Structure 1
């Protein structure tokens, strides 16, 4: 069965070169703009399949561009019980997405960033990766491995009160059957020392923040 990938350009700031987004688009089956994210699609001259949100930050020019190019617009009232990115996740899942990749999620609004990342604990049955050229954030499965570059900075955090029986392999600071607590984030700023890292744990919810560049301090 074919794996269906959705790519969402959210309403934050453009943090990567357009060519980076183009590569993500080329590997995706469903393209969704969230509010101001339509402006990045317009810069790329690529029409998303859908534009979702209350459209309070997208320019009128970009909205009209979407309309004239046949983009399906799903508009919500500003007064609603879900954030725009949450609505986009729900919609992508309804359309059959197995994995969701999200860009343009960073910006000045820390509350929006945290709100989006906290959704990793809500949608546990689907792969969600927030990414830009220099950063990648996702939930960690109970048995997780990944090919990386040596010298990357990784932060591993618990989204639940605690996560148990954590083992880290391939890092400068390894761990065996340890515990990470939500209110004691000692998993920040670990360093990869092998080209393959492994993480296992028994319960809780762990996420990683991966800095792809090696000059992070």
Structure 2
């Protein structure tokens, strides 16, 4: 079991003052317009399960919620989530029964509904007062599921970041700047415009830098970049739009 149950406040806000002014994930350090993630909840959703050790490290000092099949990943890592959300159509029946027996608060929804389980979890997290969400278990599997999760997080009612040991994506809005320091050099780094166009894009520390560039969603041309020789970090900013910054370490 992880150390969540040692926290005094169910939303984890009492420990925020002791955290550094950066976001540290097992393989990535982020600085800049992401201070809200210091108090983020960790949502474990139902895509490709993160590796056990990665999930244990990512969960340290955080409130963990399982989203349907994400419950299986939590239990495999020895983590008892503080809440379970979903329609129960993908988690193992034994895992769901364990959650009920353990007394984990469950937000159960009918399978026939408009919103996905992840969309519901993001809305509930916002209503619970979390300023941001780190989402794992978001990659792999069906393309439509992965795309739905990424876009739902990009336009969620609270800031989101998606990550596991293989991939990560975070979102930068117009007027924001973020500096990233990967623990190891990613295989590729891509900029993904998620609005019609992203203007005033600046990118430093990369083999192919950008200065005041305009990136359009219809072309997606700023993909498969790499860190510049001798560079251990990158910085990205833009004046207008919504930009996804994607890392891949292992396919």
TM (norm. structure 2) is: 0.79
Q: 1:174 to 1:27 in 2, by over 3 A?
A: same
TM (norm. structure 1) is: 0.90
**2:136 equivalent to 1:116:** no
Determine which of 74, 81, 99 is the counterpart of 2:114: 81
Q: Does the residue aligned with 1:97 lie in a helix, a strand or coil? A: coil
Q: 1:151 to 1:5 in 2, by over 3 A?
A: closer
**2:238 equivalent to 1:206:** no
Runs of 5+ unmatched residues, structure 2: 1-12, 17-37
**2:40 equivalent to 1:40:** no
Equivalent pair of 1:4/1:96 in contact (CA under 8 Å): no
**2:75 equivalent to 1:53:** no
Equivalent pair of 1:156/1:209 in contact (CA under 8 Å): yes
Q: Distance in 2 between matches of 1:43 and 1:149?
A: 25
Runs of 5+ unmatched residues, structure 1: none
**2:53 equivalent to 1:19:** yes
Q: Does the residue aligned with 2:239 lie in a helix, a strand or coil? A: coil
Q: Distance in 1 between matches of 2:117 and 2:58?
A: 21
Per-residue deviation at 1:151? 4.2
Q: Distance in 1 between matches of 2:184 and 2:85?
A: 39
Determine which of 116, 124, 134 is the counterpart of 1:91: 124
- Paired residues in the alignment total 211
Q: Distance in 1 between matches of 2:139 and 2:154?
A: 19
Per-residue deviation at 1:70? 1.3
